Each structure stands twice: as C-alpha cells, then as structure tokens.
Amino acid sequence: MSLLRAEWTKFRSVRGWVLSSVAAVLMILLFPVTGLSGGAPEETAEVPTGPDGEPVASAYYFVRRTLSGNGQLTVEVTGLSTLRGTPWAKAGLLITTSPEPGARYAAVMITRDHGVRMQHDYLHDRPGPAGGTHWLRLTRSGAVVTGEASADGTHWSIVDTVRLPELATTVEAGLFVAAPPRAEGLGTATDVATATFTNVVSTGRWATVQPDGDPREAGGSPSDDGDESAPRVDGGAAPDGSGDRGTDTKGGTITSSAGETGTSAGGAGSDSEGDRRDAGAGRKARAVADGWTGEQVGAETAGFGGYPPGMSGGFTLAGHEFTVTGTGDLGPAVRSEMPFGATIGELLAGTFPAMVVIVVAATLMWTTEYRYGLIRSTLAVGPHRVRVLAAKAAVFGGVTFVTTLAATAVAIPVWSSLARGLSVYLFPAGTEVLFRVAAGTAAVLAGVGVLALGAGVILRRSATAVTAVVTVTVLPYLLALIPFVPGPMAQWLTRVTPAAAMAVQQTLIRYPQVDSVYTPTNGYYPLSPWGGLTVLGAWTVVVLAVAAVLLRRRDA
C-alpha cells in the first residue's frame, strides 16, 4: 500500500501527467463535433422498424390477395434467376399483417444458394429440407403460420411453425420475390431476381381485386353458402369469367388469363426510358391481373437501392404461370445498405486521439525517471523493482479507467441526443450494450496505457516507446478503417493486434442470413467484444512480463 500511495502522490504532483488525463477526457467528449453532420429531416429516408424495434430491410415485390380468417396457399416454384447471382435471392409465399415496411410477416421460400428457408419478423431464419424441393405451402390458423416444403407436391415436410402475435383476422398473402444487393469486393451491387410460379392453389376466403378496383370474395362466404374451404386454382379465368387488365411498374403491359392486355401507368403504349428509370428508382405502382395485386413494397425506404437502369419490378400471368421480378430484401438492416447512419462507437471517435495522449503519458511516467535520474530514488523507496512497476501500472491504469469511464458515460447520451437532433440515423443499442461500450472503452484505454508503461521500461526512450506502442495499437485500427484495405487484411489486423480490443465498441450484429460487407469499416469486427479485449490483455501481460524481467536484470 505504501508503494501505491507513493505513486499516487507522485502522479498528482506532476502537472503534465494530470493534464494528460484531462486532455484524454476532453478528446472523448469533444472530438465527435469535428465529423458529425446531418441532413434536413425531409431529406432523410424512412428506416423501417421491425416488431422488436430493430432497423430492418423491408423491400420486395409482392403479388398478393387478401385472406380473411384461416387459409392456405400452395405453389410450385419452377425457376429462380438473378442478374448478379446473389446467394440470398429468394422467391416464395408470404403472409403479412400489412404490405407496409416493417410489418410482421412469415414466409417460406426457395433461395438461390441456401435452399428452402422459413423466415419471419426479419430476424428469424430456419433451414428446410435439402435437395430438389420446388413446392411450397403456407398455412394460416389463427396467429399460427406453418411453412411446408415438398419435392413432388404430395409428400410434405414442415419447415417451421411460427406465431405472429396480434395477427389480424384479415391479412395479405401471396407470392414474393426479393434480391438483396450482392457483396462484391469492398461494396455491394444491386441485384434483381425473376421467379416463375405455377400450380397456385388457395383455400379459404380470399378477396380478389377486379379491374374496377372493387374487392370481391372468391371461395364463397357464410352469407352465400359458398364453401370457403374448397381449393381454388389461380391463373385461370377470373371468378366472374372476365379477363382482367393490369399494368406493371415499368409502364409496359400485363397479359391476363384471357389474353387481353392493359395500358401502362405512363399512358397507352408508353414504355420510354424515362418511365423505366422512374420505376427502377422505386416509384410505387400497382399491377392487377386475375384478382392479384402486385407492387414493390418498401420502394421509398432507406437502404432500398432500386432497380438497375432499364429494369423494373412487375409480374405477368400467362395461363397458370406467374412470372415475378423484384429486388430488395426482408431481414435485418446492415450497415453497407445504410451508410448514412451512425453507430455508438462512431460517437466515441475521440477514443483514438485520447489513446495517443495516454500512450505518451504512460511512457513518460517511466522514461522521465531514467532521463532525470529519479529512478534511483524511486527504487530506493521500493527496493522490489517488480512491485514498483506493478504500483505504477495500477495507479496509471486505475486513473485512466475511472476518468475515461466518466467521459464515455457522459459522451454517449449527449452525442446520441445531438446526432438525432441533426437527423443522423443512430443504430439502436440496448442499455446493456451501452454499458459494455462505455466500460469496455475505458478498459481498452487503461490497458493500452499499462502496455505503454511496460514498453517504456523495455525501451527506456520516450520517442521509441511511443512510436512502438502507437504502431501496434492505433495504426492497425486506422488501417483497418480505410475502405480500400482488402477485407482479409482488415480482419487480420483487428484479430491479432491490440487493435482487436476496439471490438468492445461494436453494436452491430452479423446475421448469417444476410450477405454483406462485414468489415471494421462498416462496424463489424472478427472477434466478439470480450474476445477482442482478451487479445489486448494478452499483449499487455506479455509486455509487462518482459519489462519485469529486464527491470530485475538491468542497472538503474
């Protein structure tokens, strides 16, 4: 204890060391002001929020009808192709409370490279049977939705059964197609998928949309003694025997079951490049054919990249076959699709200049004693050299942890509020995550300070020690943040160097069902927060051990 008191007294009495702690705190509190900016609220696109309050991607082409009560929909997916080969391109059946972004849903689907899946409410994903599956079935019974798959349309396997709380009596259900952006190199590229569906069979009370826009029920109702459980094969003649007309989103035509065509939304015969470009950018338009309504959901949401030039979403119906083209995704939102957003870790950008200040102060705490010959007096008070080193490390590490913890605890809520006031979208984080970020950041700075103290003992020269510590702590992380650094190198730098500890500031989650650019540049680290902190701890222990050995063998 006497050594700790002596080192604490010495720390307080040296004005430069105290000022270094103050400077580190100010860096954390004030540094974000240099880079934080926002836009006018009216210029900020909507970020859909899922049922659990998380940001989600909710964009897809939906060919739907309205289902009242319980019902079932069966389909055979005979083809799925994409422009760029996105692995998670998907086509299948979907039921939702509303065709609005962020609404609850359940879907069974066939994907390009990941087989049959059952997904619901954006975060949940369950694989289905492997190999040769083309048939899908979705059954609604109250709030319970069951997804099934089959290779022959006769023998069925349940993929998953999910419960959608507060599912209304009347829901929207039908065919959907989505194509998430494909991860290519350092970024992503918009993709488009086209799927063909046939043998669409529905049971239950389904409302159809007629050319005049009036909904009518198919399958009967209690008032007219119809059998609502009788299956209906879609893609044939409309219930009243008439051929339906409809428009697609690119201003072309849709062929109805009767072989008639309708004029485009842009005017009769209009199919100009300008019309296609507007639709590709996400203009909300509807198409109607044989009682089915088709539209691009989520066209105006943040993260929706639209369609490539000359392409657009839509569907056609010829005989019993639907052909549906769409883009977008249903799943958790990822950073690469919302680069305008900010994370809690980015609000603590002052961590890096604060780290440099702490490294300088920690090395000087030991090297100045060698420079001015004070080391002999220090060792005279405490002849056990390793204990002296431990006392200095405890004092400096403790002071750094306490002061920077206070700084991060203030900076996070203050800068979060300011960011929202500037219309900067802030990725949400729970209370436990915020506590981990604050305490973890303080632990990282304290650990780096102790590591720098050990480096000062080993190298004895301030400039050399500071350069060495900055090279292995700050520099690797800054390199990993450069967008042009290859992903594998960025992953390696934040896995084996002390910079791995910055994973404590990670608030984003990597989801296996979303293909994206998961790099430190976008806020994703290869190690878990505590795994990264362990790497820094290992470096610090090794450096202190070497310092202790050299301290015992060297002359003062």
The pLDDT tens digits of the residues spanning 110-144 come to: 999 999 999 999 999 999 988 777 899 999 999 99
Beta strand extents in 366-421 (DSSP E only): none
Of the chain, the percentage scoring pLDDT greater than 90 comes to 57
Give the closest residue to 457 by CA, choosing from 373, 385, 547, 368: 547
According to DSSP, the residues that pair with 399 across neighbouring strands are none
Does 468 map to a domain?
A: yes
* Residues 296 and 409 reside in one and the same domain: no
Please report the pLDDT score of residue 330 as a whole number: 94
Residue 166 reports pLDDT greater than 90: no
Which tops the pLDDT comparison, 215 or 301? 301
**How many whole angstroms separate alpha carbon 168 and alpha carbon 95?**
11
Does 163 map to a domain?
A: yes
Does 485 map to a domain?
A: yes
Residue 496 reports pLDDT greater than 50: yes
Is residue 479 classed exposed, middle or buried when 0-12, 13-18 and 19+ CB atoms within 10 A define those classes?
middle
Quick one: tokens of 480?
């990993």
Please report the pLDDT score of residue 370 as a whole number: 65
Contact criterion met (CB below 8 Å) for 401 and 445: yes
* Residues 381 and 318 reside in one and the same domain: no
* Residues 428 and 314 reside in one and the same domain: no
Which of 332, 360, 392 is where one domain is finished? 332
Taking the C-alpha atoms of 435, 441, 442 and 445 in order, what is their torsion angle to the nearest 10 degrees?
A: 170
Is residue 511 classed exposed, middle or buried when 0-12, 13-18 and 19+ CB atoms within 10 A define those classes?
middle
pLDDT digits (tens, 9 = 90+) for 313-372: 999 999 889 999 999 999 999 988 887 788 999 899 999 999 999 999 999 888 877 665
For residues 478-490, average pLDDT: 87
Say which CATH number the domain at 123 has.
2.60.120
Please report the pLDDT score of residue 506 as a whole number: 94
**How many whole angstroms separate alpha carbon 4 and alpha carbon 13?**
14
Does 237 map to a domain?
A: yes
* Residues 296 and 428 reside in one and the same domain: no
**DSSP-derived secondary structure for 102-117:** T--EEEEEEESSS-EE
* C-beta atoms surrounding 124 within 10 Å: 13
Please report the pLDDT score of residue 251 as a whole number: 31
Lowest mean pLDDT among 221-230, 312-321, 540-549: 221-230
Does 490 map to a domain?
A: yes
Please report the pLDDT score of residue 75 as a whole number: 97
3-class secondary-structure state, position 544: helix
For residues 15-25, average pLDDT: 92
* 87 Cβ neighbours under 8 A, 6+ residues apart: 111, 112, 113, 114, 182, 515
> Which residue in the block uniquely carries the two structure tokens 């109702």?
221
* Residues 351 and 316 reside in one and the same domain: no
Does 437 map to a domain?
A: yes
HSE-up (13 A, CA, CB side) for residue 180: 28
Please report the pLDDT score of residue 541 as a whole number: 96
Of the chain, the percentage scoring pLDDT greater than 70 comes to 80
* 493 Cβ neighbours under 8 A, 6+ residues apart: 476, 477, 479, 480, 499
* Residues 322 and 430 reside in one and the same domain: no
3-class secondary-structure state, position 357: helix
Give the closest residue to 65 by CA, choosing from 391, 373, 292: 292
* Residues 71 and 210 reside in one and the same domain: yes
pLDDT digits (tens, 9 = 90+) for 463-477: 999 999 999 999 999
Beta strand extents in 243-340 (DSSP E only): 286-289, 292-297, 314-318, 321-326, 330-332
Residue 238 reports pLDDT greater than 50: no
Please report the pLDDT score of residue 341 as a whole number: 81
Burial letters for 403-430: b for 16+ Cβ neighbours within 10 Å, e otherwise?
bbbebbbebbeebbeebeeeebbbbebe
Q: How confident is the model at residue 2 (pLDDT cuts 50, 70, 90)?
A: confident
Question: Phi-psi category of 24—alpha, beta or left, where left has phi over 0 and alpha has psi -120 to 50?
Answer: alpha
Does 278 map to a domain?
A: no
- The residue count of the chain comes to 556
Does 459 map to a domain?
A: yes
Which tops the pLDDT comparison, 474 or 243? 474
* Residues 319 and 352 reside in one and the same domain: no
* Residues 523 and 376 reside in one and the same domain: yes
Lowest mean pLDDT among 82-96, 280-294, 377-391, 461-475: 280-294
Residue 164 reports pLDDT greater than 90: yes
Please report the pLDDT score of residue 188 as a whole number: 84
Average pLDDT taken over every residue of the chain: 82
Residue 147 reports pLDDT greater than 80: yes
> Would the CA dihedral through 420, 426, 428, 432 be positive or negative?
negative
**How many whole angstroms separate alpha carbon 427 and alpha carbon 334?**
10
Which of 277, 303, 332 is where one domain is finished? 332
* Residues 438 and 499 reside in one and the same domain: yes
Is residue 172 classed exposed, middle or buried when 0-12, 13-18 and 19+ CB atoms within 10 A define those classes?
buried
Write down the pTM of the prediction. 0.80
* Residues 133 and 192 reside in one and the same domain: yes
Which of 277, 307, 332 is where one domain is finished? 332
**Which domain does 502 fall in, by range?**
16-31+345-509+516-553
Residue 109 reports pLDDT greater than 70: yes
Q: How many domains does the chain have?
A: 2
For residues 477-493, average pLDDT: 88
* Residues 296 and 423 reside in one and the same domain: no
For residues 287-308, average pLDDT: 86
Residue 168 reports pLDDT greater than 90: yes
Quick one: angle between helices 351-371 and 385-421, nearest 10? 160
